[in-house]
Structure 1
Amino acid sequence: MNPRELRATTGLAAIYGVRMAGLFMVLPVFMLHADRIPGATPLLMGLALGIYGLTQAVLQIPFGLLSDRVGRKPLILAGLLLFVAGSVLAAVAETIHGIILGRALQGAGAVAAVILALTADLVGEERRMRALAVIGLTIGLTFTAAMALGPVVDQAAGLSGIFGLSALLGLVAIVILFLWVPTPARARAHPDMVPVWSALPRVLRAPDLLRLNLGIFVLHLVLAANFLVIPVQLVETLGLAGASHWKFYVPVLLAGFALMLPGIIFGERRRRVHSVLRGAIALLAGVQILLALLVLDGGGLWTLAALMVLFFAAFNLLEAGLPSLVARVAPVAHKGTAMGGFATAQFLGIFAGGVLGGVLLTLVGPVGVFLAGVPLLLAWWWIARGMHPRYRSNRVVAVPDHWSGRDAELLRALAAWPGVHEADLSPDAGSLYLKVEPGGPDTPELTAWLARKPGA
């Protein structure tokens, strides 16, 4: 990357990361405050934990579409201000209802799609995947850091301190946006990165994408529901003080990450990612059953730690592998729409997990929360059997000006190129989107071919 692209990538990754940290820090400690928040019930605690997923799901696609009209930075600013306002409201709230409203406002600042659109504006086509990799890595590291930081801040300043720190992080993100992230000369439509309204019906009906959307929904439902139970189990069953929970989560998360790497490597090298992911789904179902048995038997800390290592290994494997399958099976010119639908399903899963977990915790207790995920995971495992994704790669290449007005000729020529499975142009014909078979043309080869004038 050139220096301007590097600034854009690091700045936007930081904005994404600090916002997600504000949402995640509360996860490992929130349920520990259930008996101290006026008006709290298990259902309302679950709603407070997951409601940001609902507002995020509802607004993220509209935010992305609106940014093409009003500009990226103004919309990111508006989203971050909503996040700050929600964090402040939750920090000063005196009842669970105020916290619910604050969390809903936090999620309403749904700037994820806009950040990706600004990334596409600022980073060249050939280097865009590197920028997305940096953002993805930042999200993973942020989750681990937030799980460690949450209990520490809770011990020092309580729940209001966590929300106050979230507001401060939102303000830091605003400073980064205007003092570090460059401003693009103009905003372009990027259907490979940002949802397109007209493409939604086609994308939402695609069977393989429906399977993947169901999968990410179930995965995050299980995650949100589990964290209505696990923090309390650490305190009540295992006697681990809340301030020490980071000592449990950090090693467990790091061990889970290390354990999932061989699965990813094996799946990619043997082109069996889909089979590996189905194995991870089955592992998650088994872990949920064992977690329920652990609650019944009153198992020890090391048993719970081992089960959580397996849980996070499977979770991280699926969290990393599912988006790659979306990119492989989505129409080449509508990958952004497919990813938008996928992210919407993910956030809806968080909301559903919080609500369902709260209901089950009220009616049947912690065992019911863990076991509820089992039939959902097994149904997902069965439905995933129908997927047989092909191993194709996506390419995005800038189209030189001398191809202007020759769109049909360009696409015909590419359709005849061995190894090219699908080809399309961006709305302004400035970018070429390709899906290629293994052994098909790589980006330098395509760039060199496009550089030659037609007929040369």
Structure 2
Amino acid sequence: MNSIEKRATLGIGGIFALRMVGLFMIVPVFSVYGDNYTHATPFLIGLAVGIYGLGQAIFQIPMSIAADKLPRKPIIFLGLVLFALGGILAATATDIYQVILGRALAGSGAVSAVLMALLADVTREEFRTKAMAAMGLTIASSIMLAFAFGPLLVGLVGISGLFWLTAVFAVLAMGLLWAVPSPVRMLKHNLANKSIKTQLAEVLKIGDLNRLHISIFALHLTMTAIFVLLPHQLSEVLGLSVRQQGMVYLPLLLIGFAIAIPFIIIAEKKRKMRQVFLGAIALMSVALIALALGAQWSIGIIGGLLLYFMGFNLLEATIPSWISKRAPVTNKATAMGLNSSSQFFGAFVGGALGGMLLHQPVGLSWGILAAVMVVALLIIMPIAQPPYLSSTTVTIPKDTDIQKWTAAMLAVDGVDELVVMAKERVAYLKLDKQRLNDDSRQALSHLAERPLDI
């Protein structure tokens, strides 16, 4: 990776980490501490945990469609402002309804897909997989750390303190956004006159993308429901208070993370993404079945959770990379928006479902979650390996009119997308090598004022 790609990956990764930690610290503790709010019921507690997902699901797609037409960074900034305001509203709440409203407002800052699209803009194809995998690992790690440290911090700052931290993290993320490069995207086909309906139709007709949407829905449905159910079960079976439970989550998460890393490398380097991906879903299905059968014993809970966290890390790391490979060039943010909407709608359904299952028999609760994952596996099974495309970096010649130069580049057959960093005088070209011929290569080398190895 060059310095621009590293700066973008670190900056966007930091924004993701701050958002995810802020959102998910609440999840493993709220089913217990939510009882302290006026008008709280098990269903409303579960709703407060998952409602942010509904806000994300509703607003992810319009924000992503806008980000395919407009500059991405202002949309991200707006999302972070909404995220901060939601944290403040929940932090000042005394009744459960205000908490629900605050979590919903925080969720309306739905910019996960726009962040992913921005990262895809400023990374070359050969390094994009690494960058996207890094984002997936960052998301997974942030969620895992939030689950581990939420129970530890709640004893120090209280539940309202966790919500205040959410707002603080949002402000810190705004600062990181300024460090991320500001690319200008040039596309072969102009999106300005393309209708929203057409944009969505072009993405929704791709079956493999829809299967990825189903996988992320099932992943976050089960994950959110699990952490509504777990605090009570860890208390009953292992005799642990909420504050002590973080010390169970953390080692399991770290072990699961470490075991998952070699499989993530195999998926990317050996181009075995489909096999690893389906294996992860199958592993999570087995984990939930094990919890359904053995959650009344400590070894059943510990073993089931370890298997689940291994699969969770694998899916969180591979899905963003897969989406970036398979999404249409002109509708990248839209495709990622649909995936993020599916993710957060799954979290919303999982929170509500977890609230309803909170006082049901343990085997039934875990069995329902296992059934969700098994059905998802059967639907996703026909998915094909993702395509592997190519790109190259070009230094924009000095004393060149960038506007005319980019127009000439886009006119070359085989160039689908051009991302320009004017300040750094660097451009990334996304190429369809099947359409490149000798004339195209010669034209590109002439415009770059040097031979290109394409």
The reply on whether 1:336 has 2:330 as its aligned counterpart is no
Distance in structure 1 (CA, Å) of the matches to 2:226 and 2:264 = 24
CA contact (8 A) 1:117 1:190 kept: no
CA contact (8 A) 1:226 1:369 kept: no
Alignment partner of 2:416 out of 424, 440, 448: 424
Q: 1:317 to 1:447 in 2, by over 3 A?
A: farther
Partner of 2:148: 148
Q: For structure 1, which segment, 234-243 or 314-323, has the greater mean C-alpha deviation from structure 2 after superposition?
A: 314-323
- Give the drift of 1:267: 4.3
Matches within 5 A, 1:136-175: 136-175=136-175
Percent identity, aligned pairs only, is 39
Aligned partner of residue 237 in structure 1, secondary structure: helix
Partner of 1:368: 364
Matches within 5 A, 1:375-394: 375-389=371-385, 392-394=387-389
1:267-313 CA-partner distances (Å, limit 9, x unpaired):
45654432332232222222212212234xx202x442222111101
CA contact (8 A) 2:48 2:100 kept: yes
- Give the drift of 1:36: 2.4
Distance in structure 2 (CA, Å) of the matches to 1:191 and 1:233 = 55
Give the RMSD, CA atoms, in angstroms: 3.6
Partner of 1:280: 280
Distance in structure 2 (CA, Å) of the matches to 1:348 and 1:252 = 26
Partner of 1:356: 353
1:213-245 CA-partner distances (Å, limit 9, x unpaired):
111111111111111111211112210122122
- Give the drift of 1:365: 4.2
1:36-84 CA-partner distances (Å, limit 9, x unpaired):
2322222111111111111112212322344577754443333222111
1:149-182 CA-partner distances (Å, limit 9, x unpaired):
211210112111111111122222233345x456
User: Unaligned stretches of 5+ in structure 1?
Assistant: 415-422
TM (norm. structure 1) is 0.81
- Give the drift of 1:187: 4.4
Alignment partner of 2:303 out of 278, 281, 306: 306
Amino acid at match of 1:368: L
Distance in structure 2 (CA, Å) of the matches to 1:77 and 1:336 = 16
Partner of 1:346: 343
User: Unaligned stretches of 5+ in structure 2?
Assistant: 397-403, 421-426
Distance in structure 2 (CA, Å) of the matches to 1:208 and 1:320 = 17
Aligned partner of residue 238 in structure 2, secondary structure: coil
Partner of 1:417: none
CA contact (8 A) 1:72 1:187 kept: no
Q: 1:127 to 1:358 in 2, by over 3 A?
A: same
The reply on whether 1:315 has 2:318 as its aligned counterpart is no
Partner of 2:401: none
Distance in structure 1 (CA, Å) of the matches to 2:442 and 2:44 = 59
- Give the drift of 1:434: 3.5
Distance in structure 2 (CA, Å) of the matches to 1:427 and 1:119 = 11
Aligned partner of residue 27 in structure 2, secondary structure: coil
Aligned partner of residue 424 in structure 1, secondary structure: strand
Q: 1:274 to 1:371 in 2, by over 3 A?
A: same
- Give the drift of 1:359: 2.5
Partner of 2:13: 13
Matches within 5 A, 1:22-421: 22-67=22-67, 71-116=71-116, 118-119=118-119, 131-178=131-178, 180-181=179-180, 184=182, 187-188=184-185, 197=196, 198-268=198-268, 271-295=271-295, 298-300=296-298, 302-361=299-358, 364-389=360-385, 392-397=387-392, 404-405=407-408, 410-411=412-413, 414=414
Q: For structure 1, which segment, 304-313 or 139-148, has the greater mean C-alpha deviation from structure 2 after superposition?
A: 139-148
- Give the drift of 1:252: 0.2
Amino acid at match of 2:444: L
Higher RCO, Cα 8 Å, sep 6+? 2
Distance in structure 2 (CA, Å) of the matches to 1:279 and 1:205 = 25
Partner of 1:451: 445
Distance in structure 1 (CA, Å) of the matches to 2:447 and 2:176 = 42
- Give the drift of 1:134: 4.5
Name the count of aligned residue pairs: 428
TM (norm. structure 2) is 0.82
- Give the drift of 1:18: 1.0
Q: For structure 1, which segment, 152-161 or 63-72, has the greater mean C-alpha deviation from structure 2 after superposition?
A: 63-72
Distance in structure 2 (CA, Å) of the matches to 1:378 and 1:114 = 30
Aligned partner of residue 55 in structure 1, secondary structure: helix
Amino acid at match of 1:103: R
CA contact (8 A) 1:213 1:345 kept: yes
Distance in structure 1 (CA, Å) of the matches to 2:388 and 2:94 = 52
Distance in structure 2 (CA, Å) of the matches to 1:73 and 1:219 = 28
CA contact (8 A) 1:217 1:348 kept: yes
Aligned partner of residue 452 in structure 1, secondary structure: helix
CA contact (8 A) 1:57 1:343 kept: yes
Q: 1:16 to 1:373 in 2, by over 3 A?
A: same
Aligned partner of residue 39 in structure 2, secondary structure: coil
CA contact (8 A) 2:117 2:336 kept: no
